[in-house]
Amino acid sequence: MTWDAIVIGAGHNGLIAAARLGQAGKRVLVLEAREAPGGLMAARGGMTVAMLPTALNADVARALDLHRHGLSYGAPVATLALGAGGAVRISGREASGAGKAVAVAYGALHDRLTRQAAALGRMLMKTPPRLRDGGAGDLIALARMGLGIRLLGKDEMRDLLRILLSNIWDVLNDEIGDGPLAAALAMEATLGGAMGPRSPGTVLPLLYRMAGRGRLRALGGPDAVIAALVRAVGAGGGAIRTGAEVARILVGEDDRAGGVRLTTGEEIRAPLILSNAHPRRTLNDLLGVAHLDAEDARRARLMASTGMVARLDFALSGAPVADGGMAIPSGERLIVAGNMAALETAFNAAKYKEIPDRPVLECTYEAGRGLLSVNAQFVPCEVKGGWTDKARATLEGNVRAVLAGAMPGFQAMIAGVETLTPADIEARFGLPGGHWHHGEFRVDQMLMMRPFGGAAQYRMPVAGLYLCGAGAHPGGDITGVPGWNAAGQALKDGRAAK
Amino acid sequence: MSAAKNLRQPMAMGVVPGPFHDRIAPLNHRQGWMNWMGIAAPTVLDTVEFEYFAIRNQATVFDISPMMKYRISGPDAETVVNRLVTRDIRKVGPGRVTYAIWCDEDGNVVDDGTIFRFADGTFRLCCQEPQMAWLMDVAHGFDVSLADESADVAGLAVQGPTSCAVLKDMGLAGVEAMKPFDIREFRVKSKPVTVSRTGFTGDLGYELWMAPDDALTIWDHLMAAGHLRGVKVIGYEALEMARIEAGFLLPRVDFVSSQTHLRPGRARNPYELGLDRLVHLDKPHFNGRRALQRLSQTRPARKLVTLEISRDKPAHHAYVYHRGKKEVGFVTSALWSPTLKRNIAYAWVDAPYCFDGKDLSVEIYLQRELVWQRRMARAQIVDRGLFANPRRTATPPSDY
């Protein structure tokens, strides 16, 4: 069997890249180290790390015809920000339960940020332009973004440029004041990364998340997304091999990537390799520093990638009720933080490698399975004293206490708990820092700087090797865009070489 | 590291004395000192002409202790050194030295220096600029240890036609059998001395490497032995004349390191520097290889060339013109060579003028009793390294 391309890792981006290559007539082999495809979305063999696939890019889903492969979409998920004495329900520009003045201010802020995000929007989804040695197309792409920003009008352009590198703490305090609503938005700006609301550059991630024009919420959760993507790969003639862990990317005499070696010693050849692994793992471990210039090896080594999210699943014996008496609705997104100050306090502890007393939580409750899934934010991957049983118990206890504060009677309902610390995620998925986004999502690691300067545009230093995971532009959040764009870039380069 | 015990108190100008300072200072009649890596180094001791002619006619001693010296050792040492430099270090055997350059990811030169291979897995990199951070980056992921031994090794360059005879008189039996770029271990008054047949003058010459604690003992012994062979202590300015004649480049003078330049486009690659022979693209991946592969297939935008200029005035800081009108380059180093009796200079000249070299002239400014004179002098491109005397490589050297 000969292959036109190998994709390392059957996470959603790897599957999307494989499906796009398949559509273009390439024979693709996807190699997955674990027992089931899906990466952080895989449910089999453990709990799903990525539990809320609500950001799938509509253009990608349409191009891959995922509907035909069995995926259906629901209304955008609403967010409930739980606070003392009640909840704020956020859906688009509406915020009910926040008080009238705050709701009005939020509506205006939402509209403005949405316009500003749209001005950046095209840029946030396309292959980023090269700043150095770029061609005419790169200049046009830059000019187009500049024009988009200029067309916002003088005041809004000025406002965008003012807040772009600013921190979400200042922006939200200026516009809506601190509280459960601000906490939910600040959570959106910092989720998955090692930045608190006061860290500079936290506005850009929020704009990025708002810019995903046509973000689809897949019905059926992570399982349904992966099942549809697996079918899409199959429809393109691609094959997926699970339990096949890549040990090395092989580089030929011609200095091109020419295949992979598995941990079993088996070698598989293909002229095109796409890696859905973390950039550091792809370059310094799989490719090997011997094939890299010292500068790239250093950038991969030092790129910020500190995971800060622990995953906990609580099996419940009853239906949880929020403080104030509201039953927790099934399938919606809950933010348990209280206010932005709580986020910053939790982040402070994590900075010093401590487990925060009160982690801030993103949760979702599934009534059918009696399961409350929790992302506990600002839990450091590397904790002082290591992840001992005591440390795990502390984490679980702290999360339970936060939940019990927002949902009276919660403690008594717990029938079981399963925990993945960031260190567990790192070990289980070969993901440096246990970082969801394969690298910190901050301004010096975004756009043409993602994963680091000189390595954007999906091409890796060795010809024939591409990065197709969340470490590539535009980044994490299960949009599928990195995988889609990487495959596109590889196909374009292949045509150019002919 | 044993650096701490070698730290000395600063002198008035903020530099520290080198290991031979107590001997050089009384000889430095001009008290001309320069700051070389924070160490007091002599510029001229009495007259530069006297010192220069000693290089070409007798034997000279120059303190090279301020050079940066790094030890690279361990199982992967050869791999790391080969990854660092552009030439194939596998072809350099134990007991040998080679001249090498190293490049960044864009193929621009970081620095140049000599690499001593003491044993299979033991190297020393000897260069002008601090390189520890760069070495650590290049070595990351490999099984080597890196040590900055700059303060732990004192060095003396003994250069000139009678240098071999001086060393023999000093008791270095068999030194005459050393070929250029050989390394040998000797003992002087029971002190270990490593000798390499290397230098920066293009002449017959050796470099002696020793522990700083032994420096004065060996100095005294060398001076006593060299008395009848005209051994003379020299400063930096005389060496500078010899190195231009010999065709050696100096970072910061003839090119800017890619690690220190600030303005875009100021870094230079080996093809522009005329160092193509030091780039071995057929060896395994090394830093900058992919960029150099591309650069090797394009014509450089400019080159560092050696010019021979009419008449006798050195063309310091001169512009280079084509047909006397179009400005096409500038001079970096210039010298009226007393030995060659030729007026030479290194200059950056733009393409295509650096290739055909026709109709070039340099604009030399001369001040004579306050009045400036401008002189357009004809220039032509010649091969680098105009001083090439057979005694540099003769083994054994003649007993001058």
Write out pLDDT tens, residues B360-393: 999 999 988 999 999 999 999 999 989 999 999 9
Minimum-distance CB partner of A294 among B79, B138, B290: B138
Cβ burial of B138 (10 Å; 0-12, 13-18, 19+) is buried
Q: What DSSP string runs through B96-141? A: EEEEEEEE-TTS-EEEEEEEEEEETTEEEEEESS--HHHHHHHHTT
Model confidence band, residue B98 (pLDDT cutoffs 50, 70, 90): very high
User: Is the preceding peptide bond at A474 cis, omega within 30 degrees of 0?
Assistant: yes
> How high is the pLDDT of residue B213?
97
Residue to test with chain B: of A250, A280, A293, A295, most B Cβ within 10 A? A293
Query: Under CATH, to which class is A5-72+220-304+433-497 assigned?
Result: alpha beta
- Report the percentage of chain B scoring pLDDT > 90: 93
Nearest CA-CA partner of A246 in A270, A272, A271, A277:
A277
Higher pLDDT, B49 or A220: B49
Write out pLDDT tens, residues B283-322: 999 999 999 999 999 999 999 999 999 999 999 999 999 9
Model confidence band, residue B240 (pLDDT cutoffs 50, 70, 90): very high
> How high is the pLDDT of residue A263?
97
Write out pLDDT tens, residues A413-460: 999 999 999 999 999 888 998 898 898 888 888 877 888 887 778 999
Minimum-distance CB partner of B105 among A289, A290, A296: A296
> Average pLDDT, stretch B87-103?
98
Model confidence band, residue B399 (pLDDT cutoffs 50, 70, 90): confident
Chains A, B: CB contacts within 8 A come to 40
* pLDDT surpasses 70 at A133: no
Model confidence band, residue A45 (pLDDT cutoffs 50, 70, 90): low
The ipTM (two decimal places) reads: 0.88
* pLDDT surpasses 80 at A220: yes
- What are the Cα distances from residue B27, in Å, to B2, B14, B166, B387, B389? 29, 21, 20, 29, 30
> How high is the pLDDT of residue A195?
93
* pLDDT surpasses 90 at A182: yes
> How high is the pLDDT of residue A83?
78
**Residue partners of B103: CB distance under 8 A and separation at least 6:** B86, B109, B110, B258, B269, B270, B287, B288, B291, B292
Model confidence band, residue A44 (pLDDT cutoffs 50, 70, 90): low
> Average pLDDT, stretch A282-303?
95
Which of chain A's residues have a Cβ under 8 Å away from the Cβ of B289?
255, 293
- Report the percentage of chain A scoring pLDDT > 70: 96
> How high is the pLDDT of residue A232?
97
Average model confidence (pLDDT) for chain A? Answer: 90
> Average pLDDT, stretch A59-79?
91
Write out pLDDT tens, residues B36-47: 999 999 999 999
Model confidence band, residue A392 (pLDDT cutoffs 50, 70, 90): very high
> How high is the pLDDT of residue A212?
61
Q: How many residues comprise chain B?
A: 400
H/E stretch holding A105 reads: helix A100-125
Strand, coil or helix: A69: coil
Q: Does B141 touch chain A (CB under 8 A)?
A: yes
For chain A, what are the domain ranges?
5-72+220-304+433-497, 101-211, 309-429
Nearest residue in chain A measured CA to CA from B289:
A293
CB contact under 8 A, A294 and B290: no
Cα A29 from chain centre = 24
- Report the percentage of chain B scoring pLDDT > 70: 98
CB contact under 8 A, A293 and B287: yes
> How high is the pLDDT of residue B11?
67
CA distance A444 to chain B (A): 20
The CA-based dihedral angle spanning residues A190, A193, A198, A201, taken in that order and rounded to the nearest 10 degrees:
-90
Task: Name all domains of chain B by residue range, CATH numbers in brackets.
Answer: 3-65+153-246 (3.30.1360.120), 301-382 (2.40.30.110)
Q: Does B49 touch chain A (CB under 8 A)?
A: no
Which of chain B's residues have a Cβ under 8 Å away from the Cβ of A301?
140
- What does the longest C-alpha to C-alpha distance in chain A come to? 69
Q: Does B105 touch chain A (CB under 8 A)?
A: yes
Minimum-distance CB partner of B104 among A288, A289, A295: A295
Which of chain A's residues have a Cβ under 8 Å away from the Cβ of B105?
293-296, 454
